[in-house]
Amino acid sequence: MANLIPRVLATLLVVGLWACSTPLPAAPTTAEVAAAGTASFKTDVQPLLAATCAGCHAAGQQGERELLLFKDGAVDYAAASGSISKIVRETTKGDMPQGRPHLTTAQLAVLQAWQAARTPNN
């Protein structure tokens, strides 16, 4: 019985090391999300808006008057959801973001997919 405990512990250690070395599946790319026609607020829309809109549409910035998308340093779901039509319209026309590269087709498709799904908070 005393020899059994070290063997069990060794087996658990090997299994644990194997499990930790198995890679997790990668998060889908923007293009994959767009192609699937689905978008998650937390993993797709929020990071996209943070990367492309934070420079102007955060508190204390020039675009705060037109559209304040950020609350407590993060993209606010209610603001994004309530303004998605305007966001899609302005980014599709190429009017936004001003002075920065336009959104790619895949990025626009993510916003459109989220809008089409009625902006779920997922």
User: How do residues 44-88 score in pLDDT, each as one tens digit?
Assistant: 999 999 999 988 888 888 887 778 888 888 899 999 999 999 999
Residue 80 lies in a domain: yes
pLDDT beyond 80 at 7: no
Counted domains in the chain? 1
Residue 89 lies in a domain: yes
Query: Quick one: pLDDT at residue 47?
Result: 94
Structural domain that includes position 83: 30-116
Residue 95 lies in a domain: yes
pLDDT band at 15 (very low <50, low <70, confident <90, very high): very low
Residue 9 lies in a domain: no
Residue % of the chain over a pLDDT of 90: 43
Residue 13 lies in a domain: no
* Nearest in space to 71 (alpha carbons), one of 86, 87, 60, 59: 59
CA 17 vs. chain centroid, Å, equals 31
Between residues 84 and 20, the one the model is more confident about = 84
Residue 24 lies in a domain: no
Residue 100 lies in a domain: yes
Residue 14 lies in a domain: no
